[in-house]
Every structure is written in structure tokens, then in C-alpha cells.
Amino acid sequence: MHMDGGDSRYEVTPLIAAAHELKAPLALVRQLALRLEDTHLPKAERQRLLRQTILTTERALRLTSDLTKSARLEDALFTVEPINPEQLCRDIVAELTPLFEAYGREVAIEGRKHPLLLVANRDLLRRILLGFSDNALRYSLPGTAVHMQIKAFKKAGIVRIGVRDYGPALSSDMWRSLQKKLRHAPQTIHARPESSGLGLYIASQFADAMNGRIGAIRHKDGATFYVELQASMQMSLL
Amino acid sequence: MTRVLVVEDDTWLADSHGAVLQNAGYEVETIPHPLAVMDAIDAVLPDVIILDVLLGGATAFALLNELQSHSDTQAIPLVLCTNLAEQLAEVQLEAYGVKRILDKTTMHPDDIVAAVKAVAE
């Protein structure tokens, strides 16, 4: 055991990382269920614990679904199509709002005056953005809003969708560790402070499958995780 | 009244620990980010600290070193509450003030009360 948290003896496979990532929600669900066994709990508290149990289970199931999808990426054919990212983000905001509200946070989209289209597989892009949003929920401060942002880089023909959270600034060490996670497979459990990087690894695989890439921007009050994909030329042909 | 500081970045788990401890008669403060822990300790010196190991922004190990470096905090008994319990040895952490290790994956909510009671006495 190394007290500096830098033990690199363990090579963590995606399987081990997945087991580790699922431990936290399963442990939480178990704690909530054990508390629900208390017959003296007030009704409102019982309802709150039940709601938390359901939402935590849904988060864990999203991860298992992403893992399955990620493992089968090479065997599958993906249809890419022109997609309006703003509409997709609106759907995601609607889906995640109950979870964010239960945690005392908001999720919102920064709308655009002029609509954009990008080329992507709708399901994979949705999974990437759900993963970024889940990550933002964890690292944002209570009472803050997570923002989904869409930006066009016209010269490069790229559209970037970012998920911006507002929380404590990332230290330089954490930033370097994060950059590693963006480039490589899941890191050793002891080499990272709070997550195995599995979510980023999966997001990176999904982006690769669509000829896109993921990245991160460090802010003094949080971070933005983004995915970049090819812009669709369809609008310009109209 | 015994003051317990819960350092846990999962809000709902922190709430759960807090509710169980308050029901048992303890004064509880929860802190989600390790960066805020030293400020919280400066404001009110706790009698016991419940500490998660994997925290957003830092590991508990950095905090253990920090707590050991101050004369007024090095004697505060610590209870680690973690998903990594099977990888930690209590005997190796004694020097850092760790008196108990609770495994989140197997513990009962009331175990946290028993642990606080045991280390606070």
C-alpha cells in the first residue's frame, strides 16, 4: 500500500475498472435499501429514499448498457446521419432533469440562434453526452447548473458539444491525470483519486467509432468535457 | 455532544450517514470536497472524522498526511468508510490515526454509529 496513492503495480483492465465503477452505486443502493427496512421511517423520508434508490439504479444501468455497447463496437455497424445536436441535448436535459433536481442541481442547454447539424450515430452521441453529464453532476457544486454548449468551428468543419460544470478548480496534478485518462485505457485504481476513467474511455471509443474525438477544458471554477464531430454539409446544400 | 465530521462526496450516502448518526444523538457536519475539510476542522474541531477514501479532487491519503502534520488534528480518531476496504489494512493505517475501517459494500447503516461510539470513547 502506498500512502501517496501512486501504486502502479496493478494493471487495471476495463473489466476490473467496470467492477470498481459499479461498486459505488451498488453499495449506495444497498445502504438505501437497508434504511428502508426501518419501519419507523416517516413517509416523506421513505419516499425520498425510494426515489434515490431508483435514480441510482438507473445510473448504474446506464453504465452497464454503455459497457455492453462498448464491447460490441467492433462487431456492429453504425448508421451515421445528420443530427441536430440542440434537439438531442434538449432530449437529454429532459431525461436528466429529475436526477439533477434530486441532487439539488440543474442541467440546462445554451441555445443557438442558428441551428447546426452534425454527422453522428444518435445512440452513441447520446451515450457520450449522458456520460459527460453524469460526470458533471458528480463534480458540480450543489445549487449550480451544468450547461450543455454547442459550438461550430466552421473552417475545420467541426461541431463541438461541451458539458460544462461549475465546481472546485482542478489542480495541475489532477489535470495531468485527466489528460492521461483522455488518451489511454482505464488507469490503475490507486493512480487516480476518484474514478477509473472508465467513462472517459468508453466515451472516447464511441467518439472514435464516429470519427470524432473527446477532450476537456480546465476552468478556474470547473471543467468542460466535449466531443467533436464532423459538421453536416446538408444545411449548406439547401 | 460528540461532534462527527463526515467527509463523503456522494451526497446521498453522506445524508444517510448524517441521518443515522443524528438519530443516535451525534452532532454531524458533512463535507463533500476534501479541499474544504481543513476549513471545517478549523471552524469546529470534530471529535471523530468519518472519511471516504476516493474523493473528488484528492484521495483520503493526502488528507491523512495533512491531519498528521498538525498537533491539534493528529489525535482525532478516524474511521475510513470505503469501497476499497478489502485493499486496506487497519494495522498499516494506525499511525495515521485510523481506528476503524468500514466496508461500504457490506456494512449496515448502524455500523457507523457503533464505530463512532467505539473510537470516541
Q: Which domains, and CATH codes, for chain A?
A: 14-237 (3.30.565.10)
Which residues of A touch chain B, with CB atoms under 8 Å apart? 1, 3-5, 20, 23-24, 26-28, 30-32, 34-35, 45, 52, 56, 103-104, 138-139, 142, 167-168, 170-171, 174, 189, 193-195
Contact A27 B105 (CB under 8 A): yes
**Residue ranges per domain, chain B?**
28-120
Phi, psi (rounded to 5 degrees) for B28 = -125, 135
Q: Mean pLDDT over residues B95-121, rounded?
A: 93
Q: Which fold has domain B28-120?
A: Rossmann fold (3.40.50)
Write down the pTM of the prediction. 0.79
Q: What is the pLDDT of residues A9-48, one digit of tens each?
A: 445 577 777 888 899 899 999 999 999 999 999 999 999 9
Contact A5 B89 (CB under 8 A): no
pLDDT, averaged across chain A:
84
Contact B55 A104 (CB under 8 A): no
Confidence category of residue A6, pLDDT binned at 50, 70, 90 = very low
Q: What is the ipTM of this complex?
A: 0.86
Q: Which pLDDT score is estimated for A112?
A: 81
- DSSP conformation letters of A116-129: --EEE-HHHHHHHH
Q: Which three cell numbers stand for residue A65?
A: 448498457
Q: Mean pLDDT over residues B89-94, rounded?
A: 79
- For B7, the 3-state DSSP assignment is strand
Q: What is the pLDDT of residues A147-192, one digit of tens each?
A: 999 999 988 999 999 999 987 776 677 677 666 666 665 544 333 3
Q: What is the pLDDT of residues A60-116, one digit of tens each?
A: 999 999 988 888 877 667 789 999 999 999 999 999 999 999 999 999 999 787 888
- DSSP conformation letters of A142-185: TT-EEEEEEEEETTTTEEEEEEEEESSPPPHHHHHHHHHHHHSS
